[in-house]
Chains A and B, each alone.
Chain A
Amino acid sequence: MIHYKNFLLGAFGALIWATTALSDDKSPPKREHVVIQKNKSFSPAELAVNLGDTIVFKNEETDVIHNVYSITPGNEFEIHYQKPGTQTPIVIDARKHRLGKMVIECAIHPGMRIVVQIKEK
């Protein structure tokens, strides 16, 4: 019985160790990147992110609505009407995104464009 209890404690300890080790790998922590929409342009115009990061799109116009989207194959998404003063996070999730280039534009303002490079952790 004592042996069985020790075994359980040992297994529990191993699990704690494994979880800690996995979460403590050398990959960078998940980051939040902010993209500002102002004067009908994105800032920055280029961005590098890792899988798992989040891009927050902030509409800082005074009276201009945006409709941000990407149709880059494997990286499609759309933020519908986005009003001034609002922000929308997009998680660069491995299930929804591919490594490589993601071109993001505004459907209403075709000159607006940001190129995002998605990298592995």
Chain B
Amino acid sequence: MLTFSVVARADEQSVDFKFSFKRPQSISYPESNPYSSDRELLGKMLFFDPRLSGSNVTSCATCHNPSFGWSDGLTKAVGHGHKTLSRKTPTLLNMAWGIRFFWDGRAESLEEQALFPIQAKEEMNQDMHQLVVELKGIKGYVDLFEKSFPGEGVTAQNISKAIATFERSIVSAQAPFDRWISGEDNAISDDAKKGFFLFNTKAQCSKCHGSWNFTDGSFHDIGLADGDRGRGKILPRLQLMQHAFKTPTLRNIVDRAPYMHDGSERTLRSIIEFYNRGGKVRRKSLSEFIQPLNLTDAEMSQLVEFLNTLSSDDTPVSLPKLPL
């Protein structure tokens, strides 16, 4: 009876929070790069084509693998020459609603973002001029570029536009959580409902993860003990941005372990324990929301139970046929 009344109360009080978590009805595309099915198809082909790398063996999908929630399952990304990079591969889920891109926000659009890894020597190590020449030599691509960008053809800008269009189509499907806030009361367990209430109250998760996509698109120093300055490299004079990294989405989070920008947390439970301790490092840039939470063991389990409800049973991604 006591348990029932606690759930009922949490359920009742959660009504106010639910409103912030309703999914948008459609994907948003910028006026500068409107949607077309040809652009999406071309972008998908380029995304999965290893010839976009200097070595011709690494594609965007090598790191952003749909089988691992559009990440790679590794602690840190592995780039050109099998060298380990400094940060974990971020997911591409729901990037259509992104504001800035990369862990440190150095790109202002998906179009701008798409060309960075292709050209970065430590990532795909591809000369862009050479890539345009290579693609112009493949008839299947020349035809599809012409259909997608009439009168413009193969250019670096159109490569980025096509990839960005495809990336905007990568959207997490309906999860049990979505069904619950839409009124299906039994879509998630009582413990998950309590976890959602804690998420918005005592645990303070919603301070940064409080939207339908479970991110504020912002940058915070959460007190991880590594030397990476994150957004502070882009904004060196802003104290608050030192050691700050972009808040990742929590959609389909169970598919993407290990977690954090440095891959230092192995499980959802260990992340919650990390936040419950108030992070690992105290410094001037630390977010004001990072402080000991005094969560009980049961409350931490409820939070994990809630996070498990954010995963959708997405349709497996089909691989495109590539032209020779």
Contact = CB atoms under 8 A, between A and B. Distances in A.
A89 B1 CA distance: 57
Interface residues of B, number: 15
Contact of B241 (A81, A107, A109): A107
Contacts of B219: 107-108, 110
Range for the number of chain A residues in contact with chain B? 10 to 19
Interface stretch (B77-85, B231-239, B266-274): B231-239
The B contact surface, by secondary structure, is loop
A65 B287 CA distance: 12
B100 interface: yes
Interface in A78-95: 78, 80-81
A78 B100 contact: no
The A contact surface, by secondary structure, is loop
Contact of A108 (B237, B239, B240): B240
Residue from A69, A107, A111 having most chain B Cβ neighbours under 10 A: A107
A80 B288 CA distance: 14
A71 to B, nearest CB: 7
A109 B238 contact: no
Interface string B166-193: 0000000000000000000000000000
A71 B235 contact: yes
A110 B218 CA distance: 6
14 contacts: A65-B288, A67-B240, A69-B237, A71-B237, A76-B237, A80-B240, A81-B240, A107-B231, A107-B235, A107-B238, A107-B240, A108-B219, A111-B99, A111-B217
